[in-house]
Amino acid sequence: MTFKAAAIQMCSGVDPARNAETMARLVREAAGHGAIYVQTPEMTGALQRDRAGLRAVLKDEANDIIVREAAALAGELGIHLHVGSTAIALADGKIANRGFLFGPDGVKICDYDKIHMFDVDLDNGESWRESAAYTPGSTARLADLDFGKLGFAICYDVRFPELFRQQAVAGAEVMSVPAAFTRQTGEAHWEILLRARAIENGFFVIAAAQGGVHEDGRETFGHSMIVDPWGKVLAAAGAAGEGIVLAEIDVAAVHVARAKIPNLRNARSFGLDHVLPTGKGGVAA
């Protein structure tokens, strides 16, 4: 089946209500271009480095403005609307970095909590400790939809290829990677990681991103992107600001790519011997 997909690029601020208005405007525009699957970026609802400030505006899932607005939009427009993620308050005081997929009837199909926490120390003093506030997910998701099998990842998950491989083996034909990549890591790795995940698994990758300088002072890389199973970039946004990237997704291309290079089928189990040179307590190879 062929369908039109859209990746929405945003520059979310600290106010969820304003971000919900931006999301609604861009989603309606994407649907107006014929997209039946629309994805928004990681942390659509708010990008806020100050944890106290973030907690002050957080709601649980039932009362979150992004969740409510997305459900209504999906039903109004008759589309699959994928909120890449938004911050959701949990009962224990921590936060979930949670994505949501809504069907054309406005009903939630599934959610996905980001599994891998962005705990890193980068150059120039840039440091992040996502695990200090967020509870990691523990379950991958694969949604069997009318137009194809959709897998889920969020941002830092892209650096863990085993998550992608397991979903590919389970039948994923399209993989979602909504993100808020930093400018520093994005310049170095964003495109190459997305293309690598697409090539090694033979599926489409759709990655809606945050892009620009945000109210909280951070800078995200942008370049929202749709990649085909051969690693070709079908559409890409610029570095900063709002945007919509659109592409026709022909799911048959997944099976063509996997027939040419059947690495999913050719994979083999193997062991690992750690060999030390003779004289250091090991055995020579």
Report residue 87 as tokens. 């911050």
Alpha helices, H only, the chain = 16-32, 51-57, 65-77, 161-169, 183-201, 252-260, 263-266
Q: Tell me 136's DSSP state.
A: P
Other beta carbons less than 10 A from residue 182's beta carbon = 21
**Active-site residue identified among 4, 69, 149, 155:** 155
Length of the chain: 285
Closest CA relative to residue 138, chosen from 108, 176, 96: 96
Is 25:38 a contact under the CB 8 Å cutoff? no
**Active-site residue identified among 4, 114, 173, 219:** 114
Q: Is 11 a catalytic residue?
A: no
Is 106:70 a contact under the CB 8 Å cutoff? no
Q: Is 42 a catalytic residue?
A: yes
Residue appearing with tokens 């003093």? 125
DSSP E strand boundaries for the chain: 2-9, 37-39, 80-89, 95-102, 108-113, 119-121, 127-129, 142-145, 148-152, 174-176, 204-207, 211-213, 219-221, 225-227, 233-236, 243-250
Q: What is the largest CA-CA distance in the chain?
A: 72
Q: Is 280 a catalytic residue?
A: no
**Active-site residue identified among 4, 42, 69, 173:** 42
CA atoms within 13 A on the CB side of 26: 28
Q: Tell me 41's DSSP state.
A: -
Active-site residue list: 42, 114, 155
